């Protein structure tokens, strides 16, 4: 499996962002999906991010982190492509 994401430390809080399809944000399995990705990234706090057809991001996760990310342009996030077995 592979996915795009980022690990960020901001104000001494380390968290991950994982790019998912928009349907995941409305899924009843979203928390299970979040935990699975978190496990791949060292069991850190994980925020899910989906983009609409215009590239506008929507974040789902801890409220303070989502608020912070809403003020950060996606091009400023250090995205990385992850491969996991």
Dihedral sign for Cα 55, 35, 14, 79, please: negative
How much is the pLDDT for 6?
97
pLDDT band at 85 (very low <50, low <70, confident <90, very high): confident
List, for residues 18-59, the tens digit of each pLDDT value.
Answer: 999 999 999 999 999 999 999 999 999 999 999 999 989 999
* Closest C-alpha to 11, from 81, 56, 72: 72
Domains and CATH numbers, the chain: 2-83 (3.40.1350)
pTM over 0.85: yes
Q: What burial letters (b/e) apply to 9-28, b meaning 16+ CB within 10 Å?
A: eeeeeebbbbbbeeebeeee
What mean pLDDT, rounded, does the chain reach? 96
Tell me the three state secondary structure of residue 43: coil
Return d(Cα 59, Cα 73) in angstroms, integer: 12
């Amino acid at each position: 499996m592979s996915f795009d994401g980022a690990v960020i430390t901001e104000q001494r809080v380390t968290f991950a962002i994982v790019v998912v399809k928009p349907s995941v944000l409305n899924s009843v399995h979203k928390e299970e999906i979040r935990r699975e990705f978190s496990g791949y990234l060292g069991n850190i706090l994980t925020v899910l991010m989906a983009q609409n057809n215009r590239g506008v991001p929507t974040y789902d996760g801890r409220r303070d982190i989502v608020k912070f990310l809403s003020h950060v342009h996606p091009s400023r996030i250090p995205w990385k492509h992850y491969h996991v077995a």
